[in-house]
Each structure stands twice: as structure tokens, then as C-alpha cells.
Amino acid sequence: MGEIRFLEDHRTWVLTGTSSTYALRLDEDDVPAHVYWGPPLAAADVVELAGKTLPWWDGFNDPNEGLGELAADGGTRYWTPALQVRFADGTRALEWRYETHEITGDHLAIRCTDRHYPFRITLHYRLRGDVVERWTELAADTEAEVIRADSATWALPVFEDYRLSHVTGRWAAETQLRRVPAPHGETVFASRRGITGHHANPWVMVDDGTATERHGEVYGVALAWSGSWRLTTTRSSTGRLTVSGGFGQDGVVHRVGPGKPLTTPIAAGLYTRGGFGAASRAWHAYVLDHVLPHPGELRPVLYNSWEATGFDVTEAGQRALAERAAALGVELFVMDDGWFGARTGDHAGLGDWQVNRERFPDGLGPLVEAVHGLGMKFGIWVEPEMVNPDSDLYRAHPDWVLHHPHRRRSELRNQLVLNFARPDVAAWARGWLDRLVGEHGIDFLKWDMNRPFSEAGWPGEADQDRLWVDHTRAVYALMDRLRADHPGLRIEACSGGGGRIDLGVLARTDQVWTSDNTDALDRLRIQHGYSHVYPARAMSAWVTDNPNFVTARSVPLRFRFHVAMAGVLGVGGDIVRWPVEDVALARDLIALYKDIRPVVQHGAQYRLRPPADDGVTALQYVHGGRAVVFAYRQAAHFNAPERPLRLDGLDPAARYRDADTGRTHSGAVLLAHGLVPALPAGDFASTVVRLDRIKI
């Protein structure tokens, strides 16, 4: 349990986490300023650091730059601003001061006001173990324009050097890990697309350049937001580095005034001193304990029909797939696109969410009943935020899409984006989704979002910029309401693959579709980058057919299964056409996955060897007295002998039995020397090792 204290004599707040401390104070101008973030410190030790503001060195260098808890624009503050405000008379400089604060359990609220204008700023802090959640609330009695409203500024200790870890990518190549020296000046990671984006993800880790998977201090910041976002690292010549982040983008202005407050999304910060592996495990624990709606559940093995049928969806075809899926041991059957309206391809019908009666003469009821009768839950694909111009919905409501009156309406994938910031659009979506789920007993929604914003206008609305925030919040509100009205409903977030993966969407979904690329070799890298912040419990991974539709590569079925079994296992191939031997192998591997699923989905993850080359990649999960090791050889060269894998997270005083061979191992030996995984010969070799702690 954490603790928040206010040291009144020193005007300092100390937030003590499980194994870290965060501290801030009021400076001489009554403005919150950063004091400390790092390993645990007693309150008395923090006081030693909470000194006075230092004088300027000269007319150009301020030794306190970057120490503002929320770097505000104005006066002689030249650091990257986290808060920029323009008042009605044109004044842009913000002068604010402390008024009061409240500590309620694990929550601290610091209330400040501008020294002249009726503008209020509340800084929020909440302790979640070693994660500090921060957000900002803005309010005003007269209208003001907020040009930038980040959730927080995070000041790091002064190191000899800094290194940034983050992910980049594109469609079908998401979450590719990058580690680079931190440049001087500003480095911006962002999405201007209205969604989280395939090209970057809203988190960054910082170390001094020496951290490894197992050793070293690591700082991380992650943003809980599924719309446009921005994270900025600023490194000065004086040696300081900060991270500032929030929603929005350049050119988008938030209006704050009477009855129109602005609350930023959560920016979560984490300090660990056990390397990148410990940082990832701490993020995973945070997501499981404080973000996911049903973290204690075991996610079911699912089957998805997309790659088997595409848009050629019929009741008979889905029944055949469902029967084969049930025989394999699948627990959730998901029918993908093509079940509604004139949806025989991606060119028409999107937005007309009525069951296609030519394909389902008696509606969805008989298929849902058949799937339930086979002992599986029933899921269905939806894309509520999109519309085809060739649809009855668009013909009736062309004003419902994002558009400008004198500009083209750019189509991507033959789609336009519906403006969920409009109450009538949000109400329409809630109506048909509520009916779909309620009338048919739907257990699972695959919620897709297949294109970014363009022409983001709202003709007739005085404050058109608000759609950038209000659209995302309306999606959140709709998901929240559906879940409240249908407690058994579970949701997977999808956005052309991994275009909407973040802490904000994970707070209202149960899993995320990691990438449209199901090639097992590529997935090793995608899943590696994903794992740096997000847990296996939420990572949907499918086994699909050869050759892979993205890469045209053929990979053995066992290897494909073993890669997908490192997350939430799914099957997406044309299983009706699978040969007998593949069906038998799949059935066995699904049974194996169900045995190890509690360890994979709820255990601590250790990345033993990253997929840095075409050699052996390995990872391990530990939960209670069980451990599971996955090892993958991508390519064999020169008949090289296998090297032992040094395991992690085990009890050195215990012994562990291999569930398949019966052989026992010393925990100390597995930690110090390692385990030889005994991979089969050749390329694309893989194995799963199950270790059970023995009571001695």
C-alpha cells in the first residue's frame, strides 16, 4: 500500500509507493515544483532535497528549468510547455499559484488559480503501487482557449546520459522496439490520426544508457488515451530531461469556460531498478490490478472466421466452422465481417447494421443457438465508427461524417468516419449495438476501427475542435454503457490490427488485436515490443493458414501455435479444410494451452532472449509454483550446439519437475546455469517446457 503525506513545514508532498518515492513542493512563487522521483526515500531525506529555488546563472540560463510539475507557458519559462492558455483579451502568459489541496487515501488533488483571471488548475496524483497516475483538470468562469493541455510533466534525475526506448511501426508491422540515445532538444512521439496509431504507441522508457533486461534503473511514462496524442522528451544542455504528454495535437484548441471544464487523460509514470524486464512486469501488474475490467478472468480460446470466409458469410458455412472449432476445443466462436446489410465486400453496406436475410434467412438466432449448443460463446465483428458512402445510413445522414463543407471527403478502404461527438450519432450507435447484443445473446464484440480521421470538421458546430476529444470519449462512454447494461459482454479492441492499443482502451476492453500480421516469425518481434508495457493476458494472437496472407511465408503448424500460445490463443484458419493430422495436432496443442493458460495470462513474464536475430528466442512465465518456457529457433546455422537458457523468477531453494519428461531440476541451477530446451532439429523449431515446483 502506498502513502501520501504533506510536510506542512516544508510545503512538500511525498508519495511513497511500494518500492519508489515521488515528491514535489511549492516554490517561492507558490507554484508546484518537482523534487524527487526514484528509489525509496524517507520523508526526512526528501526534505533534504526540497531546497529553495536557485537564482539564474545569467540572463540566459535558468538552473530550475524543467522542474515545473506542469510546465506552464509564460514569463521567463522557456521549457517545453505542458499547458498553454490564451485568455479572451489575448493574454497568453499563465501566472498561477497554490490555493489548497486534498489527500483522500491514495489520491492527491492540488488546486491552483491564475493570479488575475478566473482560471483554475487542479493537479491530480494517484498511487497505484509504484505507478503514479497524473492528470489535470482545467476550469474557468469566463471562456479561455487552451492551446496545449498535457496531463503531466515528468522530471527525471540528472544522468550522465539518457537513452529512449519506444516502439514504431506501420500496418502489419506494429510495436517494433527501438532504443536510441536521447537527442538534445525536443523529441516528439505522436499520433495525429484520431486514433492511437500503428506508427507509434503512447509510451516511452528512459534509462541512462546502461540498463539491460535484468539490471539498471528505468523510468517509464504511458498515456491512457485512444485518440490523437503526443509525448515530448526535452533534453537541455544543462543535463536535465523531462517527459511531457497528453491528448491533442498542434492546431487543435480546447475551449474552457462556464460549464465546460477540461479533464486530461491519465499519464502514468513508473520507476523501477531491475532493468527493462522489471519495468515491463511492473506495467503488466498495473494493467492487471488497476486497468483491465475483468483481470482475474481466463480469456477463452477463440476461433475467428475472417481468413476462412472473408465476406462470403453464410449460416451454413459458419455452422460448419463452428462444429470443427468446437471439436478442436475452442471456447469462443467469432463471426467476422459480412453478416449485415449489402456487405459482400468492403465497398458497401458498412453502417447498415441489419442482418442480411439472404445469408441468414431466420436472422442470427439459429446460428447463435447452435454455437451455444456446441458449448462455445458467440462473438461478432462490428465497426461502429465507420460508414461506406454506398450505404443506406450515409444516404440518409451524409452530415453525420467528419467533413468540411468545401472540401473533398477522402475515403480510405471505401470508408468515412462517423462523428461520435454528435449526440445523435452516439445515440444511434448505442441503439443498434444494444439491440444486437441483447436480442441475440452476444457474448463478445470484436470492435474494429479501420481508418484514421480526415477532414475532421463539424459544420454548424461553434467549437469544432472538440470532436478530437469528444469522439474518443463517446466511444469510451458507449463501451462503458454496453458493459454496464450487458454484464456478460466482453470486448476486443481492434483497429486494422494494432492501431488502438493503449491504457485508455484497455480500461474498457478485455483484449486487443495485436496485428493483422499473423506470420509467426513476424509476430515474435511484434509481441516482443508489445510486451514492454502491455500484458499477455490482453494480447490476442491467432494461428492462421499457410502461406500467410501478409508475408506469403509458410511456417510449421506447431511453431505457429507455440508463438500464439504466448498470449491469448486464437485460431483463424480455414479449419474445415485442415488435414486430419493438423486437426489432431491442433486439438492437442489447444489442450496444452488450456493447461498453461493460467501461467501465461496471469503470470510474470521474463524475456529470456529477444528476437534480435534468426537464432533462438525465448520467454518465460511464472505463476505460483509453475513456470512455462517458450523457446523458438528461427533458423539453424553451422550445426551450432544449443546454449542453456538462464531462467528467472524461480525459487533457488526449490526443485522443479519437467511435466513432460519427469526430470527434476534445482531452482538454483536453472537460475545460475540454465535449461537446455531440447529443440527439434532444423529451422522453425519450437518447444514448450512446463516446470512445477516440488514440495520438499
Catalytic positions are 448, 516
Cα 615 from chain centroid (whole Å):
29
Cα 411 from chain centroid (whole Å):
27
**Would you say 424 is a known binding-site residue?**
no
Q: In what helix (H) or strand (E) does residue 590 lie, and over which residues does it extend?
A: helix 580-602
Q: 1-27 in b/e burial notation, b at 16+ Cβ within 10 A?
A: ebebeebeebbbbbbbbeebbbbbbbb
**Would you say 312 is a known binding-site residue?**
no
* Strand segments (E) across 357-513: 377-382, 386-387, 416-417, 444-447, 490-493, 511-513
**Would you say 695 is a known binding-site residue?**
no
Spatial CA neighbour of 693 closest among 645, 653, 648, 644: 653
**Would you say 336 is a known binding-site residue?**
yes
| CA 596 – CA 592 distance, rounded (Å) | 7
Spatial CA neighbour of 352 closest among 380, 382, 307, 378: 382
- Identity at 635, one-letter amino acid code: A
Say if CB 144 and CB 257 are below 8 A apart: yes
**Would you say 337 is a known binding-site residue?**
yes
- Identity at 183, one-letter amino acid code: P
| CA 399 – CA 120 distance, rounded (Å) | 36
**Would you say 1 is a known binding-site residue?**
no
C-alpha distances (whole Å) from 429 to each of 62, 302, 384, 696 are 52, 26, 7, 59
* Strand segments (E) across 156-256: 163-168, 176-181, 185-191, 203-207, 218-223, 229-235, 241-247, 254-256
| CA 88 – CA 110 distance, rounded (Å) | 25
**Would you say 494 is a known binding-site residue?**
yes
Say if CB 138 and CB 146 are below 8 A apart: yes
| CA 156 – CA 200 distance, rounded (Å) | 22
Residues 6+ apart with CB under 8 A from 54: 63, 64
Say if CB 39 and CB 28 are below 8 A apart: no
**Would you say 450 is a known binding-site residue?**
yes
Spatial CA neighbour of 223 closest among 267, 282, 189, 188: 267
Q: Give Dmax over CA atoms of the chain in angstroms.
A: 80
**Would you say 587 is a known binding-site residue?**
no
Cell 485460431: give the residue.
Answer: 571
* Strand segments (E) across 273-383: 302-304, 332-335, 377-382
| CA 109 – CA 129 distance, rounded (Å) | 18
Q: Which three cell numbers stand for residue 220?
A: 517509464
Spatial CA neighbour of 351 closest among 397, 283, 411: 397
**Would you say 448 is a known binding-site residue?**
yes
**Residue 339 DSSP class:** S
Q: Which three cell numbers stand for residue 648?
A: 528467472
Q: 339-368 in b/e burial notation, b at 16+ Cβ within 10 A?
A: bbbbbbebbbbbbbbebbeebbeeebeebb
| CA 494 – CA 332 distance, rounded (Å) | 17
**Would you say 449 is a known binding-site residue?**
yes
Name the binding residues for substrate: 171, 336-337, 413, 446-450, 494, 516
